[in-house]
Amino acid sequence: MLRETWWQRAIIYQIYPRSFQDSDGDGVGDLPGITRRLRYLVDLGVDALWLSPVFTSPMRDFGYDIVDYCAIDPLFGSMQDFDELLEAAHSYGLKLLLDLVPNHTSSQHPWFIESRSSRRSPKRNWYLWRDPAPDGGLPNNWLSEFGGSAWAFDEASGQYYYHAFLASQPDLNWRNPHVREAIHNVMRYWLRKGVDGFRIDVLWHLIKDDQFRDNPINPEFKEGQPPHWKVLPLYTTDRPEVHEVVAGLRKVADEFDDCLLIGEIYLPPKRLVAYYGKDLEGVHLPFNFGLLETNWHARKIAELIDEYEGALPAGSWPNWVLGNHDRPRIATRVGGAQARVAAMLLLTLRGTPTIYYGDEIGMTDAEVPAGLVCDPLGKSVPALGRDGARSPMRWDGSRFGGFSETSPWCLCPDEGPPNVTEEESNQASMLALYKRLIKARRHNPALTIGSYHPLVATGDVLLFRRSHPGCPSVMTALNLGDQPAAAILEGIRSRGRVIVSTLAADRDGEAVKDEIDLRPHEGLLIELLG
């Protein structure tokens, strides 16, 4: 069993820095803005902040295209601003995680400029260069996630380079030990500064097939699906050799105390958990995106939890994610009423939860008129546009939502709710619910580190129990439907009392026996007595 670490009990909060708080009036969020809002995050009760990339970048993919891994983009502030943020976060007891983007750089990164300069460049082999096919065409059928072939032709040197995302995001060659060493040193740079770990971008992409074989055609592809689904990514992602690379990243993390590595990996549970590594020498938390992808039905969610819990290797620690900067927001996917139920689910499941900024006030995706699309993915595959989930944080009801003095880079926040100021003074708000749930979680080890026991998943009702020796067990009872529902607990002694209802405080302390009545869209947290 692994020794208990800070991140097992922690709640992580993702900040998309462009959209959190502008401090210099340019309409783009920045580091001093985040520093200004730390008090809010402490009051919310989270433990660690993960910042999407803040490094120097031409921003073709909003910072996921980096030209200097060890410098702050002036749009976000200076290195001094970063140091101040880190110090302030630590003084509040908050951990700070950065976004490590090891799979690709910007095409403007000096490494790529040098690599591209000639076939004989010492850095040629830092990226993936291939000759054209004998007929002069593409080296193989690999597709970019952002549309079209994953190969871009370089006229000057007469070869193609591989890019899993934009052509301006060439993939690094992770079979090259110099690339490994260079990124390891990037990690060391930030860890020496005192950051507490990294979320690692597209970890399952790092190694591609060394024979560059064609990906198999996807027989189930249907028109309207993302174009890159036409082939199955057999030879471009989740290659067996990736685990050695992951273990290498972990070794660097282990040079430092308590460094947390989270991997961004979109894979089904059985393949996902391989990223914990042999003997748990992989990342500490391979992000579990099950809740982003599941249908919102009690049975489906129960199956997802069982499958995930069942796949976890001995001694590993689970985690759950409800939203991020790449996917529609939870309140948009399941509606405002169910978003409250989802909050209870996220914060009472076993495993480290990650909250996406703004979800705690019930923000929904902004509607993005076609002419205003910023996201490169949204431009090539409109159905997958990500701008909506990246709109500015809504701090108050003023013009520009208290986010900025000026019109924001992305769509303006509407005036009015939801916003932090309004919700702070409303006991029935989403924000108040998040705070109560976080407090309950922190208060009872059954919820933070306790074991998980499935109880019921029928109709719209989902029920489970969390237990830990020496403290009261807690039951989560969720109604995922819009009709009243009852759960009858046969053979379970379930005397308890309600500690949180997602709807209102009117049931606090209510005694519960064998039958639990749930109002439409209601979730109850019940502390069991004996």
DSSP output for 106-167: -TTSHHHHHHHH-TT-TTGGGB-EEPPPTTSS-SS--B-TTSSBSEEEETTTTEEEE-SS-T
CB under 8 Å to 139, separation ≥6 — which residues? 130, 131, 132, 133, 151, 160, 212
CA–CA dist 315, 311 (Å, integer): 12
Q: By CB under 6 A, name the one of 50, 112, 129, 165 that touches ligand TEU.
A: 165
Q: Tell me the C-alpha distance between 170 and 410, whole Å.
A: 26
Cα dihedral angle (335, 441, 262, 334), rounded to 10 degrees?
A: -10
Asked whether position 422 contacts ligand TEU by CB under 6 A, the answer is no
Residue closer to ligand TEU, measured from CB, 206 or 446: 206
Of 12, 67, 179, 202, the one binding ligand TEU (CB under 6 A) is: 202
Nearest to 173 by CA among 218, 221, 208: 208
Q: Read off the tokens for 412.
A: 């303006």
By C-alpha distance, which of 348, 371, 336 is closest to 452?
348
Instruction: Report the chain's C-alpha Rg in angstroms.
Output: 24
Contact 298, 327 (CB under 8 A): no
Give which of 197, 468, 238, 477 is closest to 354, Cα–Cα: 197
Shortest distance, CB of residue 101 to ligand TEU, whole angstroms?
6
The smaller minimum CB distance to ligand TEU, of residues 146 and 317, is found at 146
Give the x/- contact pattern for ligand TEU in 318-357, rule: CB under 6 A: -------xxx------------------------------
Active site residue 522: no
64 binds ligand TEU per the rule CB under 6 A: yes
Closest approach, Cβ 384 to ligand TEU, in A, equals: 5
Closest to ligand TEU by CB, 117 vs 332, is 332
Rounded least distance, CB 225 to ligand TEU, Å: 12
Rounded to whole angstroms, the Cα distance separating 238 from 265 reads 9
Choose between 53 and 139: whose C-beta lies nearer to ligand TEU. Answer: 53
Q: Which of 61, 359, 365, 423 binds ligand TEU (CB under 6 A)?
A: 61
Q: What tokens appear for 245 in the block?
A: 């690379």
Q: Does 82 bind ligand TEU (CB under 6 A)?
A: no
Residue from the set 266, 439, 452, 454 that interacts with ligand TEU by CB under 6 A: 266
Quick one: DSSP state of residue 12? E
- Smallest gap, in angstroms, from Cβ of residue 144 to ligand TEU? 10
Does residue 238 interact with ligand TEU by CB under 6 A?
no
Among 201, 238, 423, 460, binds ligand TEU (CB under 6 A): 201
- Give least dist CB 61 to ligand TEU, A: 5
Q: State phi, psi for 250 to the nearest 5 degrees.
A: -65, -40
Estimate the crossing angle of helix 242-254 against helix 177-193, to 10 degrees. 30
Tell me the per-residue interface mask from 140 to 159 with ligand TEU, x by CB under 6 A, - otherwise. Answer: -----x--------------
User: What angle is formed at CA 406 by the lines to CA 401 and CA 408, rounded to 5 degrees?
Assistant: 70
What DSSP element (H or E) covers 518? Answer: strand 515-518
Nearest residue (CB) to ligand TEU, 328 versus 472: 328
174: contact with ligand TEU by CB under 6 A: no
What's the residue count for the chain? 530
Site for ligand TEU in 100-119 (CB under 6 A): 101
Give the residue with the Cβ less far from ligand TEU, 107 or 444: 107
Catalytic site includes residue 255: yes
Closest contact distance (angstroms) between CB of 169 and ligand TEU is 6
Catalytic residue among 181, 255, 258, 414: 255
Q: How far is the CB of 109 from ligand TEU (least distance, A)?
A: 13
Q: Are strands 352-356 and 151-154 parallel, antiparallel or unpaired?
A: unpaired
Instruction: Work out how close the CB of 94 gets to ligand TEU at its nearest, in angstroms, rounded to a whole number.
Output: 22
Paired strand residues for 142: none
Which of 201, 238, 360, 522 is an active site residue?
Answer: 201
Binders of ligand TEU: how many residues, by CB under 6 A? 15
365 is a contact residue toward ligand TEU (CB under 6 A): no
Q: CB-wise, 95 or 199, nearer to ligand TEU? A: 199
Q: CB of 111 within 8 A of CB of 122?
A: no
Shortest reach from residue 247's CB to ligand TEU, in Å: 22
- Nearest CB to ligand TEU, comparing residues 151 and 165: 165
Q: Interaction with ligand TEU in 379-398: which residues (CB under 6 A)?
A: 384, 386
Q: Is 221 exposed, middle or buried (0-12, 13-18, 19+ CB in 10 A)?
A: middle
Residues of this chain that interact with ligand TEU (CB under 6 A) are 61, 64, 101, 145, 165, 201-202, 264, 266, 325-327, 377, 384, 386
Catalytic positions are: 201, 255
